[in-house]
Amino acid sequence: MWRNYHKRCGTCVMLSDTCGRMRSMKSAIHIFLRGEADLPRKTSQQMSHNVPAVPKMSRSAVLAVAIFLIAHLALLIGLTTPEKFVFDEVHYVPAARQMLAPAMSQPMLNPMHPPLAKELMAASIAAFGDNALGWRYPATLFGALAIVAIYLCGLALFSAQGPAIAATLIAAFNQMLYVQARIAMLDIFALGFSLLAVAAFMHGFRRPRPHALFALAGTLFGLAAACKWSGLFPLGICIVIVAVIRLMQGWRTLFADARPGDWYRPDLWPDFRVQHAALCFAVLPAMTYLAAFVPLHGVSLPDLIEAQRRIFADNTTTAIAGHTYMSSWPSWPLLARPVWFLFDKTTEDNVSAIVFLGNPLVLWPALAALAVVLRDFIVTRRWDAFLIVMFFFGCWLAWALLPRTLGFIYYYLPAATIASLALVYVLRRDGLPRWLLWAYVGVAAIGFAVMLPISAAFVGTSMQTFNRLMLFQSWI
């Protein structure tokens, strides 16, 4: 019906801010998954100045599905090696097993983290068996979803398929995401939900009516926090962004040389009220977060409160012994101290290793790229630079606010993944040749290939190669 109506009126048949306002979560998910973004496109003459453009939505949806399938299959290769616990799997897999018992035994294992990721692991164990595949399979799903989320973020920021795909590949070649998506830990679950939420927020940021996309983001942030409390960091960033923009609008702030690409505009979100913000970024996240506790605690309010008290106490305590691979947040961007998830000698001169380090050919250049992005945000007030800066520095520097002293480089995973967007932002600047971006993607792929022997246990490597890859004493 709507397609025929638009044909008679000569207007756009694709949903957009001017030819179809999103009033439900269903429409938000529909547009979000198809990768709608603001990009000039061909329209009828009468709509050429009013309708924001998007890449073909069907093409974006097909590419998103293809990216997910390729990433998922790649992550599955050699997943069951080794067949024993790796690093913190020793904490989370037993907790998932406990959830499968007919009656929940006491004491509850791993109560210092919310239950959703462990519930997903439990479902996988029930489906595939209590083995390495059952433990780790859900992580590969959420690793693939995280890669798709970067693609969707790229569509929102760059409004073009090429840069979005380049950001996706750079994130996939980052090594951090690959390693974390092949181990039964909580971080990859929080990352997958968080990045999908960030993508929804980015897609809604420039819309006159962002209500449904912001509601979708809030729902996903609640699921991220239900996996690990670090999922609250990007939710806090969104709250800060919305609060600052609303305050500036309340003060009737105007830029003297206002531009269409400014991160702040006085007419941004004209119908987005305080109650809408409370629903999107407080009520919906709280509801989805608490829903994850119902299978374990029912709807008992005292039990739910006690579970939150225990998580808070365990995550804010400073009375924690040191750890061999602990590191502090200022060192993470420098890749100063990796974590050895696995190091097994298979023969006299060969080892099976998993080292969470990050691809230096991605993460070190990303620091220079982030400096350029930060400069553009400050000097030119670009909205895309603003969002990259907020989510990168917010996800990283939030760790500086916590009293807990025990930290690991894999806490840097969300910020490191978002850094791929900064690299693409810089490499597609005006005046640079188009091939430069793809040449850099090739460089990132080479770095990933070189590190693969210490990223996946099934590959294996010689001691000589392992020692050659350990460039600094602090990496050993």
Share of the chain above pLDDT 90, in %: 76
* Whole-number pLDDT of residue 21: 40
Determine, yes or no, domain membership for 38.
no
Q: Is residue 291 part of a domain?
A: yes
Q: What tokens appear for 422 in the block?
A: 């900064």
* Mean of per-residue pLDDT scores for the chain: 88
pLDDT at 16: 40
What is the distance between the alpha carbons of residues 183 and 181, in angstroms, rounded to a whole number?
Answer: 6
Rounded Cα gap, residues 319 and 85, in angstroms: 26
CA distance 164 to 60: 10
Residue 113 domain-assigned?
Answer: yes
pLDDT in the model for residue 108: 87
- Whole-angstrom Cα distance, residue 462 to residue 262? 53
Q: Does the pLDDT at position 155 exceed 80?
A: yes
Provide the pLDDT for residue 28: 57
What pLDDT shows up at residue 204?
A: 97
Residue 473 pLDDT greater than 50, yes or no: yes
Does residue 431 have a pLDDT over 70? yes
Task: Average the pLDDT over 164-183 and give the result.
Answer: 97
Q: Is 84 left (phi over 0), alpha (psi -120 to 50) or beta?
A: beta
pLDDT tens digits, one per residue of 73-110: 999 999 999 999 999 999 999 999 999 988 777 888 99
Task: Give residue 1's pLDDT band: very low, low, confident or very high (50, 70, 90).
Answer: very low
Stated pTM of the model: 0.88
Statement: residue 49 has pLDDT above 50: no
- 39/156 Cα distance (integer angstroms): 9
Between 234 and 256, whose confidence is greater?
Answer: 234
Average pLDDT over residues 248-260: 92
pLDDT of residue 15 exceeding 50, the answer is no
**In this structure, is residue 74 part of a structural domain?**
yes
SS3 262: strand
Give the Cα-Cα-Cα angle 175, 385, 217 (nearest 5 degrees).
70
CB atoms within 10 A of CB 406: 14
In a domain, 35, yes or no: no
Give whichever of 139-143, 251-255, 304-308 has the largest mean pLDDT: 139-143
Question: In whole angstroms, what is the distance from residue 342 CA to residue 132 CA?
Answer: 14
Mean per-residue pLDDT for 220-232?
97
Is residue 6 predicted with pLDDT exceeding 50?
Answer: no
Secondary structure of 148-192 as H, E, C letters = HHHHHHHHHHHCCHHHHHHHHHHHHCCCHHHHHCCCCCCHHHHHH
Which tops the pLDDT comparison, 192 or 52? 192
Q: How many domains does the chain have?
A: 1
User: Looking at per-residue confidence, does 327 or 17 come out higher?
Assistant: 327
Residue 226 lies in a domain: yes
Confidence band of 5 (pLDDT split at 50, 70, 90): very low
Q: Is the pLDDT of residue 365 over 70?
A: yes
* Per-residue model confidence (pLDDT) at position 19: 41
Q: Does some domain include residue 416?
A: yes
Tokens of 186: 């909580």
- Which residues make Cβ contacts (< 8 Å) with residue 294, sequence separation at least 6? none
Q: Is residue 10 part of a domain?
A: no
Domain that holds residue 182: 59-315+324-475
What digits encode the pLDDT tens for the residues 450-460? Answer: 999 999 999 99
